[in-house]
A and B are shown apart, each in its own frame.
Chain A
Amino acid sequence: MTNEFSESLEKKLEETTKLGLEVVKEATEDRLMKLSVGPQHPGSGHFRFTIKVDGDYIVYCDPDPGYVHRGEEKMCEYRNFIQNIPHLERPVIHDSTNITYSYSLAVEELLGIEVPRRGQFIRAIASELNRQVYTLYWLAIYGIFLGHSTMFMWPAGDRELFIDLLTALTGARVTHAFNIPGGVRNDIPDGFKEKCLEYVNYFEKRLKEYENIFYNNPLFRQRTENVGILTKDDAINLGVTGSVLRASGVAYDVRKVEPYDVYNEIDFKVQYMKTCDSFARAYVPFLDMRESCHIIRQLLDKMPESGEVRMKLQSNPKGTPGESYKRVESGRGALSYYIVSDGSSRPYRVKISVGSFRNILALPHLLVGSRLGDMPCIYWALNYWPVEADR
């Protein structure tokens, strides 16, 4: 669109010069307006990106992450394996079980311990509940930035159900510190199973209402359909993960591809869509929520009635020299830890690779050429969490 416009402009200029009239040529830089989105406006989270607009069209985009960088990887090197847990969940406090999940898996490999079976099930339940909490939070934000305030209130309210369950299970509302190398901190309390089933069944009914008021809403569909197309090849080449990748027609889920803990015993489908637009990216997390409900029910059903939930560790465990790499499927895609140990009680090096940081690579690709009004619906559908990406 921009090229056509500038070509026609240049033609006109040539014609005027032929007539012998003097024209002051407008430079391209003068026509473009530079806008800075973020980092303190809630429209982008704690993340800044600079865009240049030509009229209503975005012609340039430069994401600039790093506003909330706090050096989590370096901090890990000064604390022992257990002390790392509380600060590692700070990047995504509303998905804190998943971000400590892969850390625990990696450290367990270094320490050479195995989690008891009941502990593995409780871990998976906490992780699925936390995924629901995260997705509902994301959906609430996505709703409000598209101007749908009902879709802000409903998920924010229903999120309390899962927060209630996690409070009963772990003792904290958001920062659970629940996964620990060797298992989980505590066993499930009395009556948790029934309560969990009741809430999950109720929530499944609510999901139908979400579909009616939001996903089938013609206004929402008009705003998101055929906006921000990320084709299958582009998605693979850019290296995006999670719901963004699945919305581009690639059925990839770490829970299915590399099952960890008890996920190989669970029967579930990888939900993906082939439309590749913003609507698909918004709808795939919704389908994941529905699938999570099935997973939670199966996990509760298959969980052993009694048994150990945590391996007893020595107070300051020492890792065997070597390295380990583990990954899990978080709310934003594959989340992996690469840990190197030199035989001491502290990790020698920790590398965290998160889904958010990989998904933001698609932002310039999607924004350039689209309208300014489509920016929030493209940006938020990328399922990006700035604090996690900066680490």
Chain B
Amino acid sequence: MSSSIIKKTSTATGFIKAIESGSKHLIMKRFTLRFPEQKLKFVGDGYQFDPKRGVGIAGSRGRHILFHEKCTGCQLCAITCEGIAEAIEMVKVNEKWKQNKKSIMPQIDYGKCVFCGLCVDACPFYALYMTDDFELSSFTKEHLIYTPAQLAVKPKYDGTVEVKIDERGASHG
């Protein structure tokens, strides 16, 4: 344990040092991500969960992707979401799958979703994952509701920029 005492410098030295460390930034690289043109690279392919091991796989938690051939309509994702955001609703689909007798699949309202990913943890059939896509803005509230058909589409995300650190400071590529 230690009590810290900061060295007291004279007023002139203090000002000179402050100006010096500020003016150094004139030759330093700018730490700015030019967003729509540049996009950050994420780890992995989105947050996934392995129910056998009971552990998630690291990745960005963006919008979901639903695998229709695996979904059994068990509603576990909707039950989990009930106490969290109430964003998931089970809806009828016009598809016939052997494993999905009731033909119901989750529909997600992104106006309510908090992207906690606990629905992915709840799915025991590897049917619901998350993806890198986070640009979900729309002009109406209705467009934020993603039907099972929309959720089945794999989004395109082309983030390539990574933070680089060198002697001239940190920058985005």
On A, residues with C-beta under 8 Å from B are 78-80, 82-83, 85-87, 150, 157-158, 160-161, 164, 167-172, 175, 177, 185-190, 192, 198-199, 202, 209, 212-218, 221, 249, 251, 256, 269-274, 283, 287, 308-313, 315
Contact = CB atoms under 8 A, between A and B. Distances in A.
> 10 closest pairs, A vs B, by CB?
A186-B56, A312-B54, A171-B61, A83-B83, A79-B83, A189-B58, A212-B21, A86-B116, A218-B14, A177-B116
Nearest to B54: A312
A164 B162 CA distance: 10
Given A167-B40, A172-B60, A209-B21, 15 more contacts: A83-B80, A83-B82, A86-B118, A160-B31, A161-B163, A168-B58, A169-B58, A170-B58, A171-B58, A171-B117, A186-B58, A221-B14, A251-B1, A308-B55, A311-B54
Contacts of B58: 168-171, 186-189
A185 B121 contact: yes
B134 to A, nearest CB: 9
Contacts of A170: 58, 61
Contacts of A249: 3
Interface in B1-58: 1-6, 9, 11, 14-15, 17-18, 20-22, 24, 31, 33, 40, 42-44, 46-47, 53-58
B11 A218 contact: yes
A66 B99 CA distance: 51
B153 interface: no
A113 B41 CA distance: 36
B165 A202 contact: yes
Nearest to B85: A86
B21 A310 contact: no
Contacts of B44: 189
A86 B84 contact: yes
If over half of B's interface residues share one DSSP class (helix, strand or loop), that class is named, otherwise mixed; here it is mixed
A238 to B, nearest CB: 21
Contact of A168 (B6, B11, B43, B165): B43
Contacts of B1: 251, 256, 269-270, 272
A95 B9 CA distance: 34
A241 to B, nearest CB: 17
Nearest to A87: B84
Contacts of A167: 40, 42-43, 60
B146 interface: no
Interface residues of B, number: 50
B122 interface: yes
Nearest to B8: A221
B115 interface: yes
B114 interface: yes
Contacts of B15: 217-218
A259 to B, nearest CB: 14
Contacts of A158: 31, 170
B5 A273 contact: yes
Contacts of A251: 1, 3
B130 interface: yes
A251 B59 CA distance: 39
Contacts of A273: 3-5
Name which of A78, A80, A221, A283 has the most chain B CB atoms within 10 A of its CB. A221
Nearest to A279: B6
Given A78-B83, A85-B118, A86-B118, A283 B31 contact: no
A171 B4 contact: no
Contacts of B122: 315
B59 to A, nearest CB: 6
B163 to A, nearest CB: 6
Contact of B47 (A82, A186, A213, A256): A186
A213 B22 contact: yes
Contacts of A212: 17-18, 20-21
Contacts of A161: 163, 170
B112 to A, nearest CB: 12
A313 B54 CA distance: 8
A213 B18 contact: yes
Given A80-B83, A168-B43, A309 B21 contact: no
B57 A186 contact: yes
Contacts of A311: 54
A217 B9 CA distance: 9
B23 to A, nearest CB: 10
A80 B83 CA distance: 8
B87 to A, nearest CB: 11
Interface in B117-134: 117-118, 121-122, 130
Contacts of B53: 312
Contacts of B115: 172, 175
Contacts of A310: 54-55
Contacts of B22: 150, 213
